[in-house]
Amino acid sequence: MVSDLIDRTNMTWKVDLVKESFSPSEAEEILCIPLSMFSQNVSLVWSGEHSGIYSVRSWYRMLLPDSVIANSDKALFKKIWQVDCPTKMNIQCWKFLKNLVPTKLNLCTRIVTTDPTCFRCLQSPENVAHVLRNCPFADQVWARVGIHSPTIDEQSSFSEWLSKLLSNISNNKSTEVLITIWALWTAQNKFIFEGEQKNPTDIVTSIKSYSLDLRLVSDCLTASNPRACIRWLAPADPFVKVNFDVGFRQHEKSATIGVIIRNMEGQILGASSLLAYHIPSTFAAEAQAAICGLRLAADMGFRQIEVEGDSRAVVTKLQSDSDDPSDIGALISEAKGQTRRFQECRFLFRHRSRNRVAHALAALRRSLDTDLVWIEEAPVEIETLAAEDRRWLDPP
Ligand SMILES: [Zn+2]
């Protein structure tokens, strides 16, 4: 019986018994199923969506073998989307990686044209790698921009080359790479369709001036109102505020958890830095962290609390009045059960820039030997961050 595997007093899995009774991989899967002290209706859960509700989109995604998107490509796509530049450039770069652009070779494949040769050098077939890397024209542009093309076999794919190029350069340089790619493609099209013949120096001048403008705009945007960006918001009187955050390691199925409780003056009332195992996902980690925050606040005797996290999906579930049908439903139900220990409890979502102290407490756990809880104090690096938060508070 499944119930024989559960310790009903603490509502936890009997870890040793589960490990004895199942293979290591099955045991890990079982131990990752969250349990709750608070009863939940038995229901079917669709694990393909965070909402727990079936959708055709998620079914299709589950049918695709992992090999359809190799891990290296996933990492590269992620990097491309993180580059700070106009979105049209991120999108265009993604299209190059997916080969969704009308190069002459692609047009030949679709029988739109019969000659795949590059208009510019008249030497090789025009594919993505040629226009953006191998064409002598592109080569001169990269050299003058001052970005050294990584040494890689000429036959290697465009994505392998780009991945290597972006792996070891600063954020500003990554922006310049995407601007250069954009400029090379635009120049090739203007050459073909408008007969515009710019030399590499002209193109490099416009790349340099564009990236400088972009940096200036970005600096102005972040500097003009730093207060609005990073401000921790104090709880309303007489509430105390509980901030929680996590660091999740997928391969270990482990999560570090940081919790900080402060009053309306921003003074630290309690803090904890914990490590949890058998955590299946980052959502489960966030929900577990909310529970830890609620438990600490209740154990310390607070009656009115605001619980604040930076995972919109999890906070939305915590705010909802209805049962959560997803695979973290048991954790959501446990967190909601814990709220009965308070006179008043509100859940709030805030951007992670307002949640830095909890984030630092979660990160801190990796350098500690054991779980720690502090009352009315915290380690010096945490005190420093909390003091910065206090500086932004409105004067009373
Ligand atoms: Zn060419």
Region 249-277: what's the mean pLDDT? Answer: 94
Predicted pLDDT of residue 150: 78
Predicted pLDDT of residue 65: 57
Predicted pLDDT of residue 59: 79
- Measured CA to CA, the distance from residue 257 to residue 293 in angstroms comes to 9
Mean pLDDT of the chain: 87
- Measured CA to CA, the distance from residue 106 to residue 254 in angstroms comes to 45
Question: Is residue 69 pLDDT above 60, yes or no?
Answer: no
In which band, very low, low, confident or very high, does the pLDDT at 219 lie, cut at 50, 70 and 90? Answer: low
Predicted pLDDT of residue 64: 64
In which band, very low, low, confident or very high, does the pLDDT at 254 lie, cut at 50, 70 and 90? Answer: very high
**In this structure, what DSSP letter does residue 132 have?**
I
Give 121 Cα–ligand 1 centroid separation in angstroms: 4
User: 77 or 294, which is more confident?
Assistant: 294
Give 139 Cα–ligand 1 centroid separation in angstroms: 10
**pLDDT-wise least confident of 154-163, 227-236, 277-286, 353-362:** 227-236
CATH number of 232-391: 3.30.420.10
**pLDDT-wise least confident of 155-159, 200-204, 232-236, 262-266:** 155-159
Give 104 Cα–ligand 1 centroid separation in angstroms: 11
CA-CA-CA-CA torsion for 150, 151, 156, 159, nearest 10 degrees? Answer: -10
Predicted pLDDT of residue 66: 54
The 10 Å Cβ neighbour count of residue 216 is 10
In which band, very low, low, confident or very high, does the pLDDT at 167 lie, cut at 50, 70 and 90? Answer: confident
Give 189 Cα–ligand 1 centroid separation in angstroms: 12
Structural element, H or E, at residue 159: helix 158-166
Region 34-53: what's the mean pLDDT? Answer: 76
Give 208 Cα–ligand 1 centroid separation in angstroms: 23
Region 379-385: what's the mean pLDDT? Answer: 89
Percent of the chain with pLDDT over 70: 93
Give 368 Cα–ligand 1 centroid separation in angstroms: 56
Region 172-197: what's the mean pLDDT? Answer: 92
CATH 3.30.420.10 domain range(s) in the chain = 232-391
**pLDDT-wise least confident of 326-330, 350-354, 376-380:** 350-354
Give 154 Cα–ligand 1 centroid separation in angstroms: 14
Region 371-377: what's the mean pLDDT? Answer: 93
Give 135 Cα–ligand 1 centroid separation in angstroms: 4
Region 167-184: what's the mean pLDDT? Answer: 90
Question: Crossing angle for the helix pair 87-97 and 158-166, nearest 10 degrees?
Answer: 130
Give 169 Cα–ligand 1 centroid separation in angstroms: 27
Give 120 Cα–ligand 1 centroid separation in angstroms: 5
Region 159-165: what's the mean pLDDT? Answer: 90
The three-state DSSP-derived secondary structure of 167-199 is CCCCHHHHHHHHHHHHHHHHHHHHHHHHCCCCC
Question: Is residue 147 pLDDT above 80, yes or no?
Answer: yes
Question: Is residue 206 pLDDT above 70, yes or no?
Answer: yes
CB-CB contact of 264 with 306 (8 Å): no
Give 90 Cα–ligand 1 centroid separation in angstroms: 24
Predicted pLDDT of residue 49: 76
Question: Is residue 316 pLDDT above 60, yes or no?
Answer: yes
3-state secondary structure of 31: helix
Give 148 Cα–ligand 1 centroid separation in angstroms: 19
Chain segment 269-294, per-residue pLDDT in tens: 999 999 999 999 999 999 999 999 99
CB-CB contact of 97 with 162 (8 Å): yes
Predicted pLDDT of residue 282: 93
Region 91-118: what's the mean pLDDT? Answer: 88
If we measure between CA atoms, which residue out of 30, 5, 6, 19 comes closest to residue 253? 30
Give 92 Cα–ligand 1 centroid separation in angstroms: 20
Give 158 Cα–ligand 1 centroid separation in angstroms: 15
Predicted pLDDT of residue 146: 86
Region 187-198: what's the mean pLDDT? Answer: 89
Predicted pLDDT of residue 396: 46
Predicted pLDDT of residue 137: 94
Question: Is residue 315 pLDDT above 80, yes or no?
Answer: yes
- Measured CA to CA, the distance from residue 204 to residue 1 in angstroms comes to 70
In which band, very low, low, confident or very high, does the pLDDT at 230 lie, cut at 50, 70 and 90? Answer: low
Predicted pLDDT of residue 54: 80
